């Protein structure tokens, strides 16, 4: 258990740190957020298809001979810079990610092909300060009988995603060396600035409380702008809630 040194003592995300593949940063985290009612929908995809979309400095990860791509709809809450309080209309909103899995200098992490959010301020801030490819979208997420109806369309009408999903069984912790753990337990993300500088952003949370899930995906246009396609049924997992702390991006010196 890690205790912070100032009056914002213990964040729930820091209740466990022993599962990390490397130590948490020595300096203080700067942002906090919670990820809620999240679906992981993963498909196998070839590393060759992803290579043109990922900086050469990043190795595209493979699990038993294949790479994977994930579509992740969820909602955010408690999004704020430390030590400010939550703010209405700013700290909570739906988000939708398209992500692949990479490693740089021994640290496996996530590379985002796109991130959609319903909050224009969050989109601006993430693009400006984190160099992430966010897009402003019209989004709704409605819960009914433990199922979630998710609807997202970018404001320019270019990309849409619609699905109904939910959990089908009790939570579990992914065992070591399994695909579920490989896909989800990643503690940094990578981003590239407009000038081509590579950044790493450290994150931390307790191990994912995953649940088996179902999903009826009616529309998924997220891959089309990247010239990608997938086939077959996705590997599905649900997570009810996860508290997260985030450190500011730092340049990766190659």
184 membership: H or E segment, kind and range:
helix 179-184
Nearest alpha carbon to residue 15 among 5, 26, 3: 3
Domains defined for the chain, CATH in brackets: 29-251 (2.40.400.10)
Residue 178: count other Cβ atoms within 10 Å of its Cβ.
12
What is residue 36's predicted lDDT score, i.e. its pLDDT?
98
In whole angstroms, what separates CA 78 from the centre of its chain?
16
Report how far residue 30's alpha carbon sits from residue 222's, in angstroms, rounded to the nearest whole number: 30
Report how far residue 235's alpha carbon sits from residue 165's, in angstroms, rounded to the nearest whole number: 13
End-to-end CA distance of the chain: 33
What is residue 7's predicted lDDT score, i.e. its pLDDT?
31
Q: What is the pLDDT of residues 76-114, one digit of tens each?
A: 999 999 989 998 889 999 999 999 999 999 999 999 999
CA-to-CA dists, residue 43 to 29, 94, 97, 108, 223, angstroms: 32, 22, 14, 19, 12
**Helix, strand or coil, per DSSP, at residue 40:** strand
- Provide CB contacts within 8 A for 90, sequence distance 6+: 79, 80, 119, 121, 122
What is residue 100's predicted lDDT score, i.e. its pLDDT?
99
Count of CA atoms in the C-beta half-sphere (13 A) of 102? 23
Residue with tokens 């740089």: 104
> Is the pLDDT assigned to residue 38 strictly greater than 90?
yes
Q: What is the pLDDT of residues 4-24, one digit of tens each?
A: 443 334 799 999 999 999 999
What does DSSP assign to residue 140?
E
């Amino acid at each position: 258990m890690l205790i912070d040194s100032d009056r914002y003592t213990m964040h729930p995300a820091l209740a466990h740190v022993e599962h990390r593949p490397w130590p948490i940063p020595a300096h203080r985290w700067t942002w906090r957020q919670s990820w809620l009612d999240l679906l992981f929908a993963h498909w196998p995809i070839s590393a060759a298809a992803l290579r043109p979309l990922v900086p050469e400095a990043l190795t595209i990860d493979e699990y038993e001979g294949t790479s994977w791509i994930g579509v992740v709809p969820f909602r955010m809450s408690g999004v704020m810079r430390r030590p400010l309080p939550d703010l209405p209309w700013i700290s909570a909103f739906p988000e939708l990610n398209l992500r692949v899995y990479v490693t740089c200098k021994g640290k496996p992490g996530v590379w985002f092909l796109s991130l959609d959010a319903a909050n224009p301020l969050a989109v601006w801030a993430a693009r400006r300060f984190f160099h992430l490819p966010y897009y402003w979208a019209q989004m709704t997420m409605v819960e009914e009988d433990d199922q979630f109806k998710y609807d997202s369309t970018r404001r320019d009408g270019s990309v849409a995603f619609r699905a109904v999903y939910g959990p089908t069984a009790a939570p579990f912790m992914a065992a070591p060396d399994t695909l579920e753990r490989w896909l989800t337990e990643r503690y940094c993300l990578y981003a590239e600035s407009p000038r081509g500088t590579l950044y790493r952003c450290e994150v931390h949370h307790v191990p994912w409380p995953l649940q088996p899930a179902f999903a009826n995906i009616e529309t998924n246009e997220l891959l089309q702008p990247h010239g990608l396609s997938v086939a077959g049924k996705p590997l599905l997992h649900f997570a009810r809630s996860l508290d997260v702390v985030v450190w500011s991006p730092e340049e990766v010196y190659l």
